[in-house]
């Protein structure tokens, strides 16, 4: 296949970016999308040009490092897939592709298609932990957790922090990501001691980082490679409301909560 790529090139956060056009004349349908970019980059290096920067690590859909927009769609045209798991057999000879980084104020461009997602790390650091000593595996299994609750917590834990939800949301909201990180701990008994403080802290940090508000558009759910459901945001809002009321009651009684 012969493909034409229009790739966003930008040297850094404060530099102006622009699309640069590349022809890739010999794409195999067996290549992954990132392998196709590897081939293009190898040629750019041999010509003495700067290769295209993009994030990646596992290339197995696990780590959440990869991700950019392909023709306006986060991770490309397939549902439930990261860009590292997208293969070129989904394209045809003559296709024209536009590659852009995630665009959000809270995700400044590092270089080309790579963005700084450390805002996600700070949201997790604000509440994504438990303080109880959970002991070894047999001790943990001594705490009965209903199957339906455990499965929902594990569904939330599937979030890989890729940022596609933010990039696709017209408000650049991080609600689906934060809801997933918050829900997976708030549902389990091990996460109960910090439940309210976690809800307050993670939602507050999300706002500090400059992410927008959720207005129920649903683009996040549509592009999420791990199919995190939209109703996790409703769960986060309920937990946040509960935490706010508890906090207010404690303060009204003269406590420090």
CB distance 18 to 9 below 8 Å = yes
Q: Which residues lie below 8 Å from residue 187, measured CB to CB, with a gap of 6+?
A: 149, 152, 153, 156
Q: Which does 63 bind (CB under 5 to 8 A by kind): ligand SF4, ligand FES, none?
A: ligand FES
C-alpha separations of 75 from 72, 116, 157, 167 in Å: 9, 17, 20, 10
Q: How far is the CB of 58 from ligand FES (least distance, A)?
A: 4
**CB closer to ligand FES out of 57 and 139:** 57
Q: Which does 228 bind (CB under 5 to 8 A by kind): ligand SF4, ligand FES, none?
A: ligand SF4
Q: Which does 57 bind (CB under 5 to 8 A by kind): ligand SF4, ligand FES, none?
A: ligand FES
Among 45, 62, 143, 245, interactor with ligand FES by CB under 6 A: 62
Beta bridge partners of 96: 4
DSSP H stretches of helix in the chain: 33-46, 118-127, 137-141, 147-157, 164-168, 175-186, 195-208, 219-223, 231-252
CB distance 66 to 162 below 8 Å = yes
Nearest to 51 by CA among 62, 65, 35, 38: 38
Q: How far is the CB of 38 from ligand FES (least distance, A)?
A: 13
Q: If binding is defined by CB under 6 A, does position 76 make contact with ligand FES?
A: no
Q: If binding is defined by CB under 6 A, does position 57 make contact with ligand FES?
A: yes
Q: If binding is defined by CB under 6 A, does position 162 make contact with ligand SF4?
A: yes
Q: How far is the CB of 249 from ligand SF4 (least distance, A)?
A: 32
Q: How far is the CB of 12 from ligand SF4 (least distance, A)?
A: 24
Q: If binding is defined by CB under 6 A, does position 61 make contact with ligand FES?
A: yes
Nearest to 64 by CA among 192, 165, 197, 193: 165
Cα angle: 122, vertex 127, 132; to 5 degrees: 140
Binding positions for ligand FES, rule: CB under 6 A: 56-59, 61-66, 82, 84
Binding positions for ligand SF4, rule: CB under 6 A: 159-165, 176-177, 180, 224-226, 228
């Amino acid at each position: 296949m012969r493909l034409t790529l229009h790739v966003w090139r930008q040297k850094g956060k404060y530099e102006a970016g622009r699309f640069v056009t590349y022809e890739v004349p010999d794409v195999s349908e067996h290549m992954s999308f990132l392998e196709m970019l590897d081939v293009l980059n190898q040629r750019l290096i041999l010509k003495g040009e700067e290769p295209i920067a993009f994030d990646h690590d596992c290339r197995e859909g696990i780590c959440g490092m990869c991700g950019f927009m392909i023709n306006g769609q986060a991770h490309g045209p397939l549902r439930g897939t990261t860009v590292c798991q997208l293969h070129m057999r989904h394209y045809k000879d003559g296709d024209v592709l536009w590659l852009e980084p995630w665009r959000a104020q809270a995700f400044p461009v590092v270089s080309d298609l790579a963005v700084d997602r450390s805002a996600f790390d700070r949201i997790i650091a604000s509440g994504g932990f438990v303080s109880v000593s959970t002991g070894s595996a047999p001790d943990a299994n001594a705490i009965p957790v209903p199957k339906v609750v455990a499965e929902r917590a594990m569904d939330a834990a599937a979030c890989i922090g890729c940022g596609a939800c933010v990039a696709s949301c017209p408000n650049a909201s991080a609600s689906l990501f934060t809801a997933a990180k918050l829900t997976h701990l708030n549902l389990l008994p091990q996460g109960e001691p910090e439940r309210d403080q976690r809800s307050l802290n993670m939602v507050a940090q999300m706002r500090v980082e400059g992410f927008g508000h959720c207005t129920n558009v649903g683009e996040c759910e549509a592009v999420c490679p791990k199919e995190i459901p939209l109703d996790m945001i409703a769960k986060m809002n309920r937990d946040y409301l509960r935490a706010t009321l508890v906090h207010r009651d404690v303060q009204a009684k003269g406590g420090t909560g």
